[in-house]
Amino acid sequence: MSTYKSRKDVPEHEKWDLTDLYADEQAWQADVDECYQLADTLSQFDGAIQDAKSLLDFLETQEKLSFTLRKVFAYTMFLSDIDTRDAHAQKLSAKATQLSVKVSESTSFFMPFLLSLSEETLRAYISAEKKLAYFEDELWKSFRFKKHVLTKEKEELLSQLGATFQAPGDTYNMLNNADIQFGVVTDDNGQQVQLTRGMYSKLIEDEDRNKRKEAYKAYYKPYVELNNTIATTLSAEIKTNVTLAKVRQYESALHKALFADNIEQSVYDQLIDAAKANIEPLHEYARLRKQKLGLDELRQYDLNAPIVPGVKAEISYEEAYETMLKALKPLGDDYIAKLKEFKEKRYIDVRETPGKRSGAYNMGVYGVHPFVLLNHHDDLNSLFTLVHEMGHAMHSYYSSKYQPQITANYRIFVAEVASTVNEVLLINYLLKETSDKRMRAYLLNHFIEQFRGTFFTQVMFADFEKQTHERAEAGEPLNAESLNELYEQLFRTYNGPDIVFDDEVKYGWSRIPHFYRAFYVYQYATGFASAIKIATAILDGEEGALDAYMTFLQSGSSDEPLELLKKAGVDLTTPEPVQAAMARFSALVEELKQL
C-alpha cells in the first residue's frame, strides 16, 4: 500500500523518529532559549574584537550557536512537512524563523569587520592563537571577498536596499505561486476543471494527445497573458545582478556568481560549447520520439509522452529498498551496511499522507544524522527517487562523520553528484537484470529523459542566463519581445528542427523560478556529467576509482568544489567529462533505436 488516509495508519518503522533530535518539545524550547542567549553574547562582540583571543571567542560561540540552531530549525521543518496543515507545527516554525532573524542581526557586523582588517593583522591574529587554525581556511575564504567590499557607509546603504534588490524575485514568486490562474481542462467525467501544477505534470505525460495538448495550452495561458509583466520582473532582476556586480567591481554578473565557489568561467563556457557541439543525438532522439508516437508533427506537448507505454512495474517499498542495496553493491560493504541502518533506525519518512509536503528531500543534521522525506508510491519512479535521495543522505552521513562541523556541509556545486552516481548504478543494475525487451527500452528511455531534463535543458537555461546578462551589460533592451525571441531561438538550437513550434514555446522562460537565482542551474548539468564519469569508472573497475569516490563523499567542503572533483577523477576545467557524458548519451539513443 502506498497511499494512506491518515498518518496514524502508516507503520511505525516507515515514519521518522524525531526523538533523535529532541525527546520532546520542552527539550526543543530549551535549545531555543539557549540560542537567544548565545545570540545576545555574539552581539556584544560588535566593536569588541580587538585581538586573537576575542576573535576566537566570537568564532567558537558562533559555531556553537550554528550547531544548535540547525537542530532547532530541522525539528520544526520536519514537523511542518509531515503535515503542512498542523497549526502547532506552523507556530513552532514561526518561532524558529523569528530566532534566525535575531541570530542574523546579532552576527551581521562580523563580515564587514573581518574584511576591514588588513591581511597582516589577520595573519598576526592567526599566528598568535593556535586554536584559530581550525577557522583559518574559512577566514581566508571570506577574506577573498575583500576587494569586492565597499566602504562601511556604502555597505550599510546596500544592506538597507536589500529588500528592494529582492523585489523582482519576490514579485515573481508571488505571481507564480499565489496569483497565477491556469486555464481549464476536461476531467475524466467530462467536466471542465481548472488545471493545477500537479494535474499538469500527469496530463503532459498522458498517452492521449488531445489531453496533452489541452493541458499544455491551459498551462501556458497565464504566462502568455502576463508576458509583459513577467518580462519586467526578469529584466529588473537581471539589471540588479549586473548593477551589483559593477558596484562591487566584478568583471561581470557571471563572474560574481562563480566567485564564491572559485569556479573559472571557462568551466561554464565549456559546458555550453560541449553540449552544443554534441547536440545531434538529442535531435536524433526527437526524430525517434516522433516516429514511435506515429506523428506527422512533433510538438512541445509530445516531448513527455511515453514512447514505451504500458510498462508499469509494481514495486513495494521493501522490494525497492532491497533492489537499491543490490544495485549499489559496487560502492562497498560499509556503504551498504549504513544504508540498511538508515532504514532500521527510521531515518526515512516513507509514505504519502494527507497534508504531507510533496516531493522528496534529504537534510543532514550535523551531530545527529540525515533525515530523508519521501512520498513513496510502489512504482519504478519511486525506486529512482529513493536511490537518488539516499545518495544525498550518504553524502551527508560521510561528510558529517569525517569532517568537523565547519567543513561538513558540501557545496551546491557538488550536491547532485552522489545522488546521480546512485541513479546510474541503479540503471546499470536494472538493465543487466532484465531480459524483457520492452522493460529494457523503458529503462533506456528513462535514462535518456534524465539526460534531457538534468543536462540539456539546464544547459539551455544556463545559455539563456548568460546571453540575457551579457545583453544587459551591453546596454541592450530586455523586454518581452527580446526575451521571447532569444528563448525560442535557443529552444530550436537545443531541441532540433523536427519540432513544430506552437506559439507557447517562446514563453517558456517565464515559468522558470530558477532565473531569479542567477547562474544556479548550470550546476545540475556539471554535477550530472561528473556523476556519469565517476559511476562509469567504478563500474569499469578502474583502479582507485572507488577509493577516490569514497574520499570525495567524506570531504564535505574541505576543499574547493573543482579540486574535490579532480580528486574523484573528474576535471571540469577540461571539456573531457562533458564529452564523455555526451558519448554515453549518444550510445543510449543508439541502443534505444536498435530496440
Handedness of CA 368, 393, 563, 416 (dihedral sign): negative
Element (H, E) at 268: helix 265-277
Per the CB < 8 A criterion, the answer to whether 183 and 200 are in contact is: no
CB atoms < 10 A from the CB of 354, how many?
12
Element (H, E) at 185: strand 184-186
Question: CA 132 to CA 59: how far, in whole Å?
Answer: 9
Residues annotated as catalytic (active site), given as ranges: 389
Q: In three state form, how does the secondary structure of 322-383 look?
A: HHHHHHCHHHCHHHHHHHHHHHHCCCEEEEECCCCCCCCEEEECCCCCEEEEEEECCCHHHH
Residue carrying C-alpha cell 489531453: 211
For residue 3, what are the β-bridge partners?
352
Handedness of CA 400, 402, 407, 410 (dihedral sign): negative
Handedness of CA 221, 224, 226, 231 (dihedral sign): positive
Per the CB < 8 A criterion, the answer to whether 373 and 81 are in contact is: yes
Helix, strand or coil, per DSSP, at residue 303: coil
